[in-house]
Amino acid sequence: MTLTLAIHSSKGGTGKTSIAVNLAVAFASAGKDTCLIDMDLRGPSLCSMFKPKTHFWINDFLSGKCNLKDTLTDSKKDIGTSGHLYLSFSNPDIGEIRDLVSKDRNWQAGALKALMNGKRELAEENIDVTILDTSPGVEYESINAVAASDMVIIVHNDTKACHDCTEQLIKGVYTLLDKRCAIIDNMYHGNCLDIKEKNRYGVPVLTTIPCMCDIATRSKNEILVHSDPEHLFSKSIMTIKDKIEAMQ
């Protein structure tokens, strides 16, 4: 069975994309056939890091113009993972993004149906793990991704606003959709060794990652979990992967 993870956060810039990409590479490196989908249709990221080899975007799939398979680029050889690493890109064209923002709820309803079908499509292909990177907050596409997932990974930073909004999201969205959740504390400024908290809002905290300039600068050219497995960030990603697997 395919495990589908939605990486979401209440606020922007908490490290969702960094964690989604590294987690996908970690799963693929461990031999899992993995699919990473850029569901951040409002602020595409994947196309800035990898090169698509197909002319279909995830946007086309959500609009019913192609199958999910048609949008996938296999990066297994480029990155050198043992499992397949399929990437589905979101269209960075500004006209496309303007168009998306003006889509109505009927389109979003169709997009959710498409995502559920896509999930079945990937299960038939025996994909082990699917990771959905999302836009922050209550955006249609993000909540669609949450609804299509088996588990929500909440990437959190240590601000009051993020805390308050996360609690709301857990109560008013994730729980209502019956989703299992887990929190990752990212960009933590205190001493990580002091952390004792295992649970917050009734949700397990998987790990705490410190704020390190190193992570931001090196991530421009590397996927740390691949290029430097001994890095603290990479080790945190492996912890996250192991804990998610243990929870299944």
Partner 1 sequence: MDSELLEQVVNNLKEINSKLDRLIVQIECRDETTSDKDKIAAYSLDVLTLLSLPDHLRTTATTLFEIGPATADEVANVTNKERAVESNYLNQLVRMNNVKKYREGRKVYFRINDSLKKK
Ligand X SMILES: Nc1ncnc2c1ncn2[C@@H]1O[C@H](COP(=O)(O)OP(=O)(O)OP(=O)(O)O)[C@@H](O)[C@H]1O
Select 23 or 84, whichever has its Cβ closest to ligand X. Answer: 23
Query: Of Mg ion, ligand X, partner 1, none, which one sits near residue 63, judging by CB under 5 to 8 A according to partner kind?
Result: partner 1
* From candidates 6, 8, 10, 16, binder to ligand X by CB under 6 A: 16
Which candidate, 216, 165, 157, 214, places its Cα nearest to that of 185?
Answer: 157
Which residues between 125 and 154 bind ligand X (CB under 6 A)? 136
Distances, alpha carbon 31 to alpha carbons 82, 84, 124, 148, in Å:
5, 8, 18, 24
Which candidate, 13, 4, 5, places its Cα nearest to that of 186?
Answer: 13
- Written as six digits, the tokens of 147 are 């609804």
Q: What's the CA gap between 138 and 176, in Å, rounded?
A: 14
Task: Please tell me whether residue 187 binds ligand X under the rule CB under 6 A.
Answer: yes
Q: In this chain, which stretch among 14-22, 66-74, 179-187, 210-218 interacts with Mg ion, using CB under 5 A? A: 14-22
- Using an 8 Å Cβ cutoff, are 88 and 36 in contact? yes
* From candidates 212, 226, 235, 239, binder to ligand X by CB under 6 A: 212
Task: Please tell me whether residue 29 binds Mg ion under the rule CB under 5 A.
Answer: no
Q: How many Cα atoms within 13 Å fall on the side-chain side of residue 231?
A: 21
Task: Please tell me whether residue 221 binds partner 1 under the rule CB under 8 A.
Answer: no
Task: Please tell me whether residue 12 binds ligand X under the rule CB under 6 A.
Answer: yes
Which residues between 162 and 191 bind partner 1 (CB under 8 A)? 172-173, 176-178
Q: Which residues contact 242 (CB under 8 A, 6 or more apart)?
A: none
* From candidates 9, 17, 90, 149, binder to Mg ion by CB under 5 A: 17
Q: Which residues bind partner 1 (CB under 8 A)?
A: 63-65, 105-110, 112-113, 116-117, 120, 140, 143-144, 147, 172-173, 176-178
